[in-house]
Homo-oligomer: A and B are copies of this chain.
Protein backbone atom coordinates (compact mmCIF):
# COMPACT_ATOMS: atom_id res chain seq x y z
CA UNK A 1 0.00 0.00 0.00
CA UNK A 2 1.55 3.24 -1.22
CA UNK A 3 1.09 6.15 1.20
CA UNK A 4 2.20 9.69 0.37
CA UNK A 5 2.45 12.49 2.92
CA UNK A 6 2.77 16.00 1.50
CA UNK A 7 5.31 18.21 3.27
CA UNK A 8 5.70 21.96 2.87
CA UNK A 9 7.41 24.82 4.68
CA UNK A 10 5.52 26.30 7.63
CA UNK A 11 3.36 23.20 8.09
CA UNK A 12 2.44 21.86 11.53
CA UNK A 13 4.52 18.76 12.24
CA UNK A 14 2.07 16.81 14.38
CA UNK A 15 -0.57 16.99 11.61
CA UNK A 16 1.66 14.68 9.59
CA UNK A 17 3.54 12.73 12.28
CA UNK A 18 0.46 11.65 14.23
CA UNK A 19 -1.12 9.80 11.27
CA UNK A 20 2.30 8.69 9.98
CA UNK A 21 2.93 6.84 13.24
CA UNK A 22 -0.17 4.75 12.56
CA UNK A 23 -0.51 4.50 8.76
CA UNK A 24 3.17 3.56 8.32
CA UNK A 25 2.35 0.38 10.27
CA UNK A 26 -0.47 -0.74 7.96
CA UNK A 27 0.17 -4.10 6.26
CA UNK A 28 2.61 -3.68 3.33
CA UNK A 29 2.83 0.06 3.90
CA UNK A 30 5.34 2.00 1.82
CA UNK A 31 5.22 5.56 3.04
CA UNK A 32 6.90 8.50 1.32
CA UNK A 33 7.28 12.07 2.54
CA UNK A 34 7.13 14.27 -0.56
CA UNK A 35 7.55 18.00 -1.04
CA UNK A 36 7.79 20.30 -4.04
CA UNK A 37 11.53 19.67 -3.86
CA UNK A 38 13.44 16.91 -2.12
CA UNK A 39 15.22 17.97 1.05
CA UNK A 40 14.45 19.59 4.37
CA UNK A 41 11.10 21.23 5.04
CA UNK A 42 10.99 23.59 8.02
CA UNK A 43 7.86 23.43 10.16
CA UNK A 44 5.85 26.33 11.56
CA UNK A 45 7.77 26.79 14.83
CA UNK A 46 11.05 27.15 12.94
CA UNK A 47 12.66 24.55 15.21
CA UNK A 48 12.10 21.33 13.24
CA UNK A 49 13.26 20.01 9.88
CA UNK A 50 11.47 17.06 8.26
CA UNK A 51 13.10 15.31 5.33
CA UNK A 52 11.23 14.99 2.04
CA UNK A 53 12.80 12.03 0.25
CA UNK A 54 10.86 12.61 -2.98
CA UNK A 55 9.71 15.51 -5.10
CA UNK A 56 5.99 15.58 -5.78
CA UNK A 57 6.76 15.69 -9.52
CA UNK A 58 8.32 12.23 -9.18
CA UNK A 59 5.13 10.68 -7.79
CA UNK A 60 2.46 9.65 -10.30
CA UNK A 61 0.01 7.80 -8.10
CA UNK A 62 -0.65 6.84 -4.49
CA UNK A 63 -3.09 4.64 -2.60
CA UNK A 64 -3.39 7.03 0.33
CA UNK A 65 -2.71 10.76 0.15
CA UNK A 66 -2.32 12.67 3.42
CA UNK A 67 -2.27 16.47 3.36
CA UNK A 68 -1.35 18.11 6.68
CA UNK A 69 -2.18 21.67 7.69
CA UNK A 70 -0.41 24.63 9.23
CA UNK A 71 0.10 28.31 8.46
CA UNK A 72 1.91 27.37 5.24
CA UNK A 73 -1.31 26.03 3.72
CA UNK A 74 -1.82 29.50 2.25
CA UNK A 75 1.36 29.28 0.14
CA UNK A 76 0.36 25.84 -1.11
CA UNK A 77 -3.09 27.15 -2.06
CA UNK A 78 -1.35 29.82 -4.16
CA UNK A 79 0.84 27.24 -5.91
CA UNK A 80 -0.92 25.92 -9.06
CA UNK A 81 1.63 23.12 -9.62
CA UNK A 82 1.09 21.68 -6.15
CA UNK A 83 -2.70 22.02 -6.41
CA UNK A 84 -2.63 20.26 -9.78
CA UNK A 85 -0.52 17.51 -8.23
CA UNK A 86 -3.02 17.09 -5.38
CA UNK A 87 -5.90 16.89 -7.86
CA UNK A 88 -4.05 14.33 -10.02
CA UNK A 89 -3.14 12.20 -6.98
CA UNK A 90 -6.75 12.26 -5.86
CA UNK A 91 -7.75 10.63 -9.16
CA UNK A 92 -5.45 7.69 -8.32
CA UNK A 93 -6.13 7.25 -4.59
CA UNK A 94 -8.13 4.75 -2.63
CA UNK A 95 -8.21 7.31 0.18
CA UNK A 96 -7.59 11.05 0.15
CA UNK A 97 -7.11 12.49 3.62
CA UNK A 98 -6.28 15.74 5.36
CA UNK A 99 -5.57 17.00 8.86
CA UNK A 100 -6.31 20.51 10.15
CA UNK A 101 -6.04 23.15 7.43
CA UNK A 102 -4.81 20.52 5.01
CA UNK A 103 -8.48 20.41 4.02
CA UNK A 104 -8.17 23.99 2.73
CA UNK A 105 -5.56 22.65 0.31
CA UNK A 106 -7.82 19.79 -0.74
CA UNK A 107 -10.64 22.30 -1.23
CA UNK A 108 -8.46 24.65 -3.27
CA UNK A 109 -7.55 21.67 -5.46
CA UNK A 110 -11.25 21.02 -6.09
CA UNK A 111 -11.36 17.78 -4.12
CA UNK A 112 -14.00 18.92 -1.62
CA UNK A 113 -16.54 20.63 -3.92
CA UNK A 114 -19.94 20.13 -2.30
CA UNK A 115 -18.58 17.64 0.24
CA UNK A 116 -18.96 17.84 3.97
CA UNK A 117 -15.52 18.38 5.52
CA UNK A 118 -13.74 19.59 8.62
CA UNK A 119 -10.61 21.59 9.46
CA UNK A 120 -9.09 23.46 12.40
CA UNK A 121 -12.01 25.07 14.21
CA UNK A 122 -10.69 28.58 13.49
CA UNK A 123 -10.74 27.89 9.72
CA UNK A 124 -14.27 26.57 9.21
CA UNK A 125 -15.41 29.76 7.46
CA UNK A 126 -12.45 29.68 5.09
CA UNK A 127 -13.22 26.06 4.30
CA UNK A 128 -16.78 27.03 3.39
CA UNK A 129 -15.57 29.83 1.14
CA UNK A 130 -13.54 27.25 -0.80
CA UNK A 131 -16.56 25.15 -1.75
CA UNK A 132 -16.84 22.53 0.99
CA UNK A 133 -19.63 22.16 3.55
CA UNK A 134 -17.77 22.82 6.81
CA UNK A 135 -18.69 20.93 9.95
CA UNK A 136 -17.31 20.97 13.48
CA UNK A 137 -16.68 17.24 13.73
CA UNK A 138 -13.41 15.52 14.58
CA UNK A 139 -13.35 13.17 11.58
CA UNK A 140 -15.57 13.46 8.50
CA UNK A 141 -15.91 10.61 5.99
CA UNK A 142 -17.28 11.30 2.53
CA UNK A 143 -16.71 8.33 0.26
CA UNK A 144 -12.96 8.01 -0.16
CA UNK A 145 -12.29 11.46 1.28
CA UNK A 146 -11.61 11.74 5.01
CA UNK A 147 -10.88 15.07 6.67
CA UNK A 148 -9.80 15.54 10.28
CA UNK A 149 -10.07 18.56 12.56
CA UNK A 150 -7.09 20.41 14.06
CA UNK A 151 -3.61 18.90 14.50
CA UNK A 152 -4.10 16.02 16.97
CA UNK A 153 -7.31 14.87 15.23
CA UNK A 154 -5.12 13.19 12.62
CA UNK A 155 -4.38 10.44 15.14
CA UNK A 156 -8.07 9.59 15.48
CA UNK A 157 -8.52 9.81 11.70
CA UNK A 158 -5.66 7.40 11.07
CA UNK A 159 -7.00 4.88 13.57
CA UNK A 160 -10.42 5.06 11.89
CA UNK A 161 -8.82 4.58 8.46
CA UNK A 162 -6.83 1.64 9.82
CA UNK A 163 -10.07 0.13 11.09
CA UNK A 164 -11.63 0.43 7.63
CA UNK A 165 -8.58 -0.94 5.78
CA UNK A 166 -7.28 -3.61 8.17
CA UNK A 167 -10.08 -4.32 10.64
CA UNK A 168 -10.90 -3.79 14.30
CA UNK A 169 -8.19 -6.02 15.79
CA UNK A 170 -5.48 -4.44 13.69
CA UNK A 171 -6.55 -0.89 14.58
CA UNK A 172 -6.79 -1.72 18.28
CA UNK A 173 -3.35 -3.33 18.23
CA UNK A 174 -1.85 -0.16 16.75
CA UNK A 175 -3.70 1.95 19.31
CA UNK A 176 -2.31 -0.23 22.10
CA UNK A 177 1.15 -0.09 20.49
CA UNK A 178 1.24 3.71 20.67
CA UNK A 179 -0.54 3.54 24.05
CA UNK A 180 -3.20 5.99 22.88
CA UNK A 181 -5.19 6.23 26.09
CA UNK A 182 -5.48 10.00 26.29
CA UNK A 183 -5.50 11.63 29.72
CA UNK A 184 -4.99 15.35 29.17
CA UNK A 185 -4.90 17.45 32.36
CA UNK A 186 -7.81 19.54 31.04
CA UNK A 187 -10.90 18.98 28.90
CA UNK A 188 -10.19 22.03 26.77
CA UNK A 189 -9.54 20.54 23.35
CA UNK A 190 -12.52 21.93 21.46
CA UNK A 191 -14.16 25.37 21.26
CA UNK A 192 -17.27 23.85 22.82
CA UNK A 193 -15.39 22.68 25.91
CA UNK A 194 -12.62 25.23 26.50
CA UNK A 195 -13.10 28.36 28.61
CA UNK A 196 -14.74 30.90 26.31
CA UNK A 197 -12.20 33.69 26.96
CA UNK A 198 -9.49 31.35 25.67
CA UNK A 199 -11.58 30.42 22.62
CA UNK A 200 -11.94 34.11 21.83
CA UNK A 201 -8.25 34.79 22.40
CA UNK A 202 -7.16 31.99 20.09
CA UNK A 203 -9.76 32.81 17.46
CA UNK A 204 -8.52 36.42 17.28
CA UNK A 205 -4.85 35.36 17.20
CA UNK A 206 -5.21 32.67 14.59
CA UNK A 207 -7.54 34.64 12.35
CA UNK A 208 -5.01 37.47 12.39
CA UNK A 209 -2.44 35.01 11.11
CA UNK A 210 -4.59 34.03 8.11
Binding site for B on A (CB under 8 A): 12-14, 17-18, 20-21, 24-25, 30-33, 40, 45, 47-51, 53, 100, 120-121, 138-139, 149-153, 155-156, 159-160, 163, 168-169, 171-173, 175-191, 193-195, 198-199, 201-202, 206
Contacts and interface: CB of A to CB of B under 8 A. Distances in A.
Contacts of A151: 21, 177-180
Contacts of A47: 20, 24, 30-33
Contact of A194 (B32, B45, B176, B202): B176
- Choose among A33, A149, A179, A189 the residue with the greatest number of B CB atoms under 10 Å from its CB: A179
Contacts of A100: 179
Contact of A172 (B168, B183, B198): B198
Given A21-B14, A172-B195, A175-B186, A138 B181 contact: yes
B184 A180 contact: yes
A138 to B, nearest CB: 5
Highest count of chain B CB atoms <10 Å: which of A45, A175, A194: A175
A189 B185 CA distance: 17
A205 to B, nearest CB: 9
A49 B40 CA distance: 9
Contact of A182 (B40, B152, B195, B202): B152
Contacts of A175: 184, 186, 188-189, 194
Contact of A186 (B21, B150, B172): B172
B48 A51 contact: yes
Given A14-B21, A20-B47, A50-B50, A120 B179 contact: yes
